[in-house]
Amino acid sequence: MGDEKARLFIQQLLKFLVIIPVDHVGISQALVSKFSDSKDAIQYFSALSFGCRKIVTRNIKDYKFAEISVILPIFFVE
């Protein structure tokens, strides 16, 4: 995918998704959490503090402690 196609794709995604900030609090919570993958933990705690209702990921297994819905991308686009 070229740069222009990537830009158009991201513009389309932004009509349906919100890209949330990652902050000190989310990272601090992630570092002391039960998550086995720190990147997933940072994403999760950032989503939680921002009030997200869902996380869309291909890696559902790492979110077993999640208090919000975690779904596969295929189910998001349906």
Torsion sign (Cα): 17, 18, 19, 20: negative
From the CA atom positions of the chain, what is the Rg in Å? 14
**Model pTM?**
0.76
pLDDT per residue as tens digits for the range 9-30: 989 989 988 888 999 999 999 9
Indicate whether 1 pLDDT > 80: no
Cα distance from N-terminal residue to C-terminal residue, the chain: 24
pLDDT of residue 78: 62
Beta-carbon contacts of residue 25 (< 8 Å; ≥ 6 apart): 45, 49
